[in-house]
């Protein structure tokens, strides 16, 4: 039943998008406080978050607006803070079935966030656009309304609740990377090496001054390239589930 | 110098959109080059790992709470728990540890 499977995919997407959305809401709430300081109305905050859906990029955007920066500066800073999505987009391109119509590609691309990318990678086999749209829409509506609520309401969530919710996203990341690491020693070693290098980058003088987005790019490219040279993966699997 | 907030939002949205969409629309075929395929295979795990640690430790109010969340998350994920249970368990560990710290 094609309609049944579509419905199941949409439901599954919404179910997986919900924890993402809850984590987003708390983060977006604090983002809203920054947006308010930059003079954004709740509607503008909602639009900014719905379209950009990138925490670091939006923090940068709101501080630039507050500083009355030039438009081109905004373009450059958004490009740098969001550059890691180029890599994620390239990785996802390999998860899309040759039979998927072209118009899904820009739509899937638009939805890429760290977490939605994670869900896409965890999806078994070729990526289902319906699943990803559903997860993205649920999560992004929480993100955008969280920002708007933050602009309206400021600090109403108690600090301990914000603190607890702020690790939700990392918990999800662990749920995505740990099971493959258990099955594949190379992936397990890479996860540990990534943890270690990321820690070193966060404390090392000079390097720690780089933006978070830049650190992610440098480490991802360097570690993945080294792994690809030392441990090339076997030939293409029958259907696009290679990263699942 | 007055600039429109809507133009700022438009510029940011446009750049974000292009970054996310270009590779997906330009790379339309399965890559056959072994190095590139291997590279893209490893990218997700490395990216997500790099973003998780040490960020999870500093995300909570107290680093101890973040470390507790990390340990609980790794153990549950290792045992095969899904995204939602792991995420909630991490939140609960932070809440609990910070509650205990508050009692001291």
Q: Tell me whether residues A172 and B24 touch, CB distance under 8 A.
A: no
- Exposure string of A33-54, with b = 16+ CB inside 10 Å and e = fewer, is ebbbebebebebbbbbbbbbbb
pLDDT at A155: 63
Tokens of B26: 């330009």
- How many Å apart are CA A176 and CA A20, to the nearest integer? 13
pLDDT at B88: 87
Looking at residue A236, the DSSP 8-state letter turns out to be: P
ipTM: 0.87
- How many Å apart are CA A132 and CA A13, to the nearest integer? 6
Please give the tally of structural domains in chain B: 1
SS3 of residue A122 by DSSP: helix
pLDDT per residue as tens, chain A (244 positions): 445 689 999 999 999 999 889 888 877 887 887 788 889 999 999 999 999 998 778 887 888 898 888 898 889 878 877 888 998 999 999 999 999 999 999 999 999 998 899 999 999 899 999 999 999 999 999 999 999 998 998 667 788 887 887 787 788 889 889 999 999 999 999 999 999 999 999 999 988 888 777 788 889 899 999 999 999 987 654 344 444 3
- State which residue of chain A sits closest to B24, comparing Cα positions: A93
pLDDT at B19: 95
Q: Give the pLDDT confidence of B45-104 residue by residue, as tens digits.
A: 898 899 899 989 988 899 999 999 999 999 999 999 987 789 889 999 999 999 999 998
- How many Å apart are CA A49 and CA A147, to the nearest integer? 7
Q: Tell me whether residues A78 and B37 touch, CB distance under 8 A.
A: no
- How many Å apart are CA A225 and CA A21, to the nearest integer? 32
- Residue A91: list chain B partners with CB under 8 A: 40, 43-44
- Exposure string of B2-33, with b = 16+ CB inside 10 Å and e = fewer, is eeebeebbebbbebbbbbbbbbbeebeeebee
Q: Which domain holds residue B61?
A: 5-103
């Amino acid at each position: 039943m094609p309609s049944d499977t579509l419905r199941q995919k949409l439901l599954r997407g919404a179910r997986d998008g919900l924890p993402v959305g809850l984590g987003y809401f708390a983060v977006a709430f604090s983002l809203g406080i920054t947006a308010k300081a930059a003079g954004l109305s709740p509607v503008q905050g909602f639009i900014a978050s719905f379209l950009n859906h990138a925490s670091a990029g939006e923090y940068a955007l709101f501080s630039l607006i507050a500083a009355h920066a030039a438009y081109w500066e905004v373009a450059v800073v958004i490009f740098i803070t969001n550059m890691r999505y180029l890599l994620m987009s390239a990785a996802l391109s390999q998860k899309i079935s040759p039979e998927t119509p072209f118009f899904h590609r820009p739509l899937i691309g638009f939805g890429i966030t760290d977490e939605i990318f994670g869900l896409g990678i965890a999806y078994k086999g070729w990526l289902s656009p319906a699943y990803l749209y559903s997860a993205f829409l649920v999560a992004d509506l929480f993100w955008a309304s969280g920002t708007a609520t933050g602009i309206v309401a400021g600090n109403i969530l108690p600090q301990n609740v914000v603190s607890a919710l702020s690790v939700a996203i990392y918990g999800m990341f662990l749920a995505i990377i740990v099971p493959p690491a258990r099955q594949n020693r190379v992936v397990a070693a890479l996860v540990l090496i990534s943890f270690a290098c990321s820690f070193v980058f966060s404390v090392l003088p000079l390097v720690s001054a780089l933006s978070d987005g830049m650190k992610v790019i440098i480490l991802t490219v360097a570690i993945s390239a080294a792994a690809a040279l030392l441990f090339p993966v076997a030939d293409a699997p029958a259907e696009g589930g290679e990263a699942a | 110098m007055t600039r429109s907030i809507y133009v700022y939002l438009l510029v940011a949205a446009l750049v974000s959109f292009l970054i996310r969409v270009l590779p997906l629309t330009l790379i339309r075929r399965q890559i056959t080059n072994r190095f590139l395929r291997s590279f893209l295979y490893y990218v997700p795990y490395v990216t997500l790992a790099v973003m998780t640690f040490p960020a999870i430790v500093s995300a909570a109010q107290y680093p101890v709470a973040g470390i507790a969340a990390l340990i609980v998350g790794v153990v549950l994920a290792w045992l095969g728990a899904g995204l939602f249970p792991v995420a909630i368990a991490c939140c609960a560990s932070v809440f609990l540890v910070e509650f205990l710290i508050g009692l001291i």
